[in-house]
Amino acid sequence: MSGMPAIILVQPQLGENIGAAARAMYNFGLTELRLVNPRDGWPNDRAGATAAAAGTVIDNAQVFSTTQEALANLSYIYALTVRPRDMTKSVLIPETAIIDSISKTRSGHKVGFMFGPERSGLENTDIVQANKIVSVPVNTACPSINLAQCVLLMSYEWSRQRKTLNLSDSGVDTSTYASVGDVQKLTDFVINTLESRDFFVPVTKKTVMQESIRNMTSRVPVTQKDIQTLWGAVRTLTGKFQKR
């Protein structure tokens, strides 16, 4: 499997921006684009036109209806956001995030960088699914970076650091770490079980409480073996699995 990170655009609005992001990726050798619920549908002619020489990235883009599905077969996620909310996740600058991601790739992870919609950025429900946050240090008088420019910046850093750190495209092993999808399934099971037992009261705090649980499970990377152990433990604890 390639050591190339996936770029995930959550609910991108303008086809032009998707195309410009694809071009920015391909400028620096990245090819794996995933789209979550693009506003104007898919395929999008304007995306292809703007992508120009990066048409191949657009043609091969995968489209998902939820962030959860888009992240499912990845194992380590970075969320790009200009204003990290009050979350207990590490916040990295692009340079450090890329170094970190290359090290994760080397140790067997399939990595993804997730970007939010143009106007609003990523929502908390998306950010909680990430392992770490990336925040670009910008001038506070002009903090808003265009989506494609943000993708460019990360792609550039990846290309730059990859050369510096001499990352090989091959030889990485993704078998040891649990995918985000597997972690999410377990988390969903826990949350649903808790919900069925009226854990989330008062109802006004439900979202925040669920977010903190997702934050916890996404923060620590777990191996596939860990996941099996956790499933066993959770089923045993919830009584939904009768251990002999």
Distance CA 43, CA 61 (A): 9
CB 53, CB 97: distance < 8 Å: no
Instruction: State the number of CA atoms in the 13 A half-sphere of 86 facing the CB.
Output: 2
Scanning residues 17 to 56, which ones bind a second copy (CB under 8 A)? Answer: 20, 23-24, 26-29, 52-54
- Count, residues near a second copy per rule CB under 8 A: 29
Cβ nearer to a second copy, comparing 56 with 207: 56
Least distance CB 140 / a second copy (angstroms): 10
Least distance CB 172 / a second copy (angstroms): 21
Cβ nearer to a second copy, comparing 96 with 238: 96
Identified binder of a second copy from the candidate list 59, 60, 103, 138, rule CB under 8 A: 138
- Establish if 4 lies at the interface with a second copy (CB under 8 A): no
Scanning residues 87 to 126, which ones bind a second copy (CB under 8 A)? Answer: 95
Distance CA 11, CA 212 (A): 23
Distance CA 61, CA 224 (A): 27
CA angle 242, 195, 228 (to 5 degrees): 40
Tell how far CA 50 is from the center of its chain.
Answer: 24
Identified binder of a second copy from the candidate list 83, 86, 88, 141, rule CB under 8 A: 141
Cβ nearer to a second copy, comparing 144 with 207: 144
Distance CA 38, CA 25 (A): 18
Q: In angstroms, how far is the first alpha carbon of the chain from the final one? A: 39
DSSP type of residue 80: E
Identified binder of a second copy from the candidate list 4, 130, 148, 222, rule CB under 8 A: 148
Residues facing residue 134 across a β-bridge: 80, 92
DSSP type of residue 71: H
Scanning residues 166 to 225, which ones bind a second copy (CB under 8 A)? Answer: none
- Establish if 233 lies at the interface with a second copy (CB under 8 A): no
Select the span of 71-79, 112-120, 152-160, 171-179 touching a second copy (CB under 8 A). Answer: 152-160
Token pair in block for residue 149 = 């420019």
Q: Strand runs (DSSP E) across 37-159, as ranges?
A: 62-64, 76-80, 91-92, 111-115, 132-134
Identified binder of a second copy from the candidate list 41, 137, 171, 202, rule CB under 8 A: 137
Cβ nearer to a second copy, comparing 36 with 152: 152
Q: Which residue ranges make up the site for a second copy (CB under 8 A)?
A: 20, 23-24, 26-29, 52-54, 95, 136-139, 141-146, 148-149, 152-153, 156, 159-160, 163
